[in-house]
Amino acid sequence: MTKILISGYLGFDNSGDESILQAISTSIKESELPIEITALSSNPRKTAKNHQINSLHSFNPFSVLKGILRSDIIISGGGNLLQDKTSSKSLWYYIFIIFLGKVFRKKVMLYSNGVGPLDKKINKKIVKKVINKVDVITLREKLSKEMLIDIGVTNPPIHITADPVFLLKPSEEARIKKILEQEGIQNNKKNIGISVRKWGNENQVKEFAGFCDDIVKNNNMNIVFIPMQYPQDLIVSEQILENMKEKAKIISKHYSSNDQIGIIKEMDIILSMRLHTLIYAGIVSVPMVGIVYDPKIEYYLNQVGMPSIKHIENLSYEEIKSHIINIYNDYEINKKQLGINSKVLKRKAKTNNDYLFNLIKSN
Specify which residues 57 forms β-bridges with: 41
- Strand, helix or coil for residue 121: helix
Sheet holding 190-195, edge to edge: 249-250, 221-225, 190-195, 269-272, 288-291, 308-309
What is the span of the domain harbouring residue 281?
Answer: 173-345
Residue 108 lies in a domain: yes
CA-based Rg of the chain, rounded to a whole angstrom?
A: 21
CATH of the domain at 331: 3.40.50.2000
- 62 has pLDDT over 90: yes
Q: Where are the alpha helices (DSSP H) in the chain?
A: 15-30, 44-51, 61-70, 88-103, 121-131, 142-151, 173-183, 202-219, 232-242, 257-265, 275-283, 295-304, 317-329, 331-362
Q: Is residue 190 part of a domain?
A: yes
pLDDT of residue 256: 95
Q: How many CB atoms lie within 10 A of CB 225?
A: 21
200 pLDDT band (50/70/90 cuts)? confident
Quote the pLDDT of residue 72.
98
Residues 109 and 217 grouped into a single domain: no
pLDDT in tens, 224-272: 999 999 999 999 999 999 999 999 999 999 999 999 999 999 999 999 9
Q: Are 226 and 264 in contact (CB under 8 A)?
A: yes
- Does some domain include residue 52? yes
**Given this model, what pLDDT does residue 192 score?**
98
Listed residue (101, 112, 107) closest to 27, CA to CA: 112
pLDDT > 70 fraction of the chain, expressed in percent and rounded: 100
- The residue among 106, 130, 160 that closes a domain is 160
CATH number for the domain spanning 32: value is 3.40.50.11930
Res 359: pLDDT: 97
> Which pTM does this prediction carry?
0.96
DSSP state of 120: -
Task: Tell me which of 160, 192, 209 is where a domain ends.
Answer: 160
d(CA 50, CA 257): 11
More confident residue, 363 or 274: 274
Do 186 and 151 have their domain in common? Answer: no
Q: What is the pLDDT at residue 129?
A: 98
Co-location of 114 and 178 in the same domain: no
Average pLDDT over residues 207-227: 95
Same domain, 178 and 134: no
Do 150 and 210 belong together in one domain? no
Euclidean distance between CA atoms 295 and 177, whole angstroms: 35
Alpha carbon 137 to its chain centroid, in Å, reads 18
**For 11-41, how does the pLDDT look when each residue is reduced to its tens digit (9 = 90+)?**
999 999 999 999 999 999 999 999 999 999 9
| Same domain, residue pair 90 and 228 | no
Instruction: Name 222's bridge partners.
Output: 191
Q: Are residues 95 and 186 in the same domain?
A: no
Percent of the chain with pLDDT over 90: 92
In a domain, 355, yes or no: no
Q: Is residue 314 part of a domain?
A: yes
Q: Tell whether 236 and 323 lie within a shared domain.
A: yes
Q: Does residue 186 have a pLDDT over 90?
A: no
Residue 190 CA to its chain's centroid (Å):
26
- Give residue 215's pLDDT: 94
Residues 235 and 292 reside in one and the same domain? yes
Last residue of a domain, one of 100, 134, 160: 160
Q: pLDDT-derived band of residue 363, with 50, 70 and 90 as boundaries?
A: confident
Cα 213 off chain centre by: 28
Instruction: For residue 259, give every residue at least 6 positions away whose Cβ sits within 8 Å of its Cβ, in sequence order, or none.
Output: 170, 171, 175, 176, 179
Q: In what order do the strands lie in the sheet with 2-7?
A: 54-57, 35-41, 2-7, 73-82, 107-115, 136-139, 158-160
HSE of 344, CA atoms in CB hemisphere, 13 A: 9
331 close to 267: Cβ distance less than 8 angstroms? no
Is 64 contained in some domain? yes
In 284-307, which positions are buried (b, 16+ CB within 10 angstroms) versus exposed (e)?
bbbbbbbbbbbebbbbbbebbebb
Q: Is the pLDDT of residue 79 over 90?
A: no
Judge if 332 and 212 occupy the same domain.
yes
User: Would residue 260 count as lying in a domain?
Assistant: yes
Average pLDDT, the chain: 96
Both 154 and 181 in a single domain? no
pLDDT tens digits, one per residue of 150-168: 999 999 999 999 999 999 9
Phi, psi (rounded to 5 degrees) for 134: -75, 170
Question: What pLDDT is attached to residue 50?
Answer: 96
Please check the confidence at residue 102 and state whether its pLDDT lies above 90. Answer: yes
* Domain count across the chain: 2
For residue 100, tell me if it sits in a domain: yes
Query: Residues with Cβ < 8 Å from 138, sequence gap 6 or more?
Result: 109, 110, 111, 112, 113, 158, 159, 160, 161, 351, 352, 355
Q: What is the mean pLDDT of residues 131-142?
A: 97
**C-alpha dist (Å) from residue 358 to 132, 135, 352, 354:** 19, 11, 10, 6
The answer to whether residue 330 scores a pLDDT higher than 90 is: yes
Which pLDDT score is estimated for 220? 85
Has residue 302 got a pLDDT over 90? yes
Please tell me whether residues 130 and 84 are part of one structural domain: yes
**In sequence order, which residues have a C-beta less than 8 Å from that of residue 319 and are 6 or more positions away?**
309
